[in-house]
Amino acid sequence: MLLIHCPYCEEDRPEVEFANGGQAHIARPADPSAYSDPQWEEFLYIRRNPRGRHHERWRHVHGCGRFFNAVRDTVSDRFETTYKAGEPAR
């Protein structure tokens, strides 16, 4: 089983306690009413699907309950690092 480091619990916890929350660092539109249709499409639906290093949101749902960000390699499934929500991308 994969162990994931929770930056809030500050320890490695088993994968089954976590839920994936999709791509990280997607900023909400500051002025939604000024957004055009293509911009909405971009914001809502267009996601990176990289081979390799990927920034993702994860939630320690059966633990502390917190969302945090992680850098995971999509080829090896190895977690490079995890850090608290709100911190800059690594």
Partner 1 sequence: MLEIAPMKLSAADLALPAEALVADGVQLALADDYARFSLRARDAAILEGLLGRKLPAKIGETLDGVACLGPDEWLALLPAGTALPLGEGLPVSVTDISSRALGFVVEGPRAVELITSGCPLDVAKFPIGRGTRTVFETVEIVVWRTAEARFHIEVWRSFAPWLWHALAAAA
63 binds partner 1 (CB under 8 A): yes
Strand 67-73 to strand 3-6: parallel, antiparallel, or no bridges (unpaired)? unpaired
Contact with partner 1 (CB under 8 A): which of 16, 19, 46, 75? 16
Closest distance to partner 1 from the beta carbon of 57 (Å): 17
Alpha helices in 22-82 (DSSP H): 37-45
Query: What amino acid is encoded at 46 in this protein?
Result: I
Nearer Cβ to partner 1, position 52 or 65?
65
Nearer Cβ to partner 1, position 43 or 67?
67
Query: What amino acid is encoded at 90 in this protein?
Result: R
Nearer Cβ to partner 1, position 12 or 80?
12
Question: CA-CA distances (angstroms) from residue 5 to 23, 25, 31, 82?
Answer: 18, 19, 35, 7
10 binds partner 1 (CB under 8 A): yes
